[in-house]
Amino acid sequence: MSESLAEALPREIERVQELLPLYDAIPTGIFAATMMRESIKTAQDAMVAGDVVQMIRSYEDLQGYKA
């Protein structure tokens, strides 16, 4: 059974939020952390608005962040 976007996007938001302290801990990580926060906000706004196209874009964007 595959995971729906409604399940996967919040999980991906949570995963990226867990990465933030790692990026905040290093001086050169501030730029990436700022981008991550903006990506999280965009994803949350898309979910609230029910904008499925933006939710897909946000999901793909969030997947690009690695530890």
pLDDT in tens, 17-59: 999 999 999 999 999 999 999 999 999 999 999 999 999 999 9
Domain ranges of the chain: 5-63
Q: Is the pLDDT of residue 61 over 90?
A: yes
**Helix axis angle, 30-49 to 52-63, nearest 10°:** 160
Answer yes or no: are the C-beta atoms of 42 and 58 closer than 8 Å: yes
Q: Is the pLDDT of residue 1 over 80?
A: no
Q: How far apart are the first and last CA of the chain?
A: 28
User: Which band of pLDDT confidence, cut at 50, 70 and 90, is reported for residue 11?
Assistant: very high
Report the length, in residues, of the chain.
67
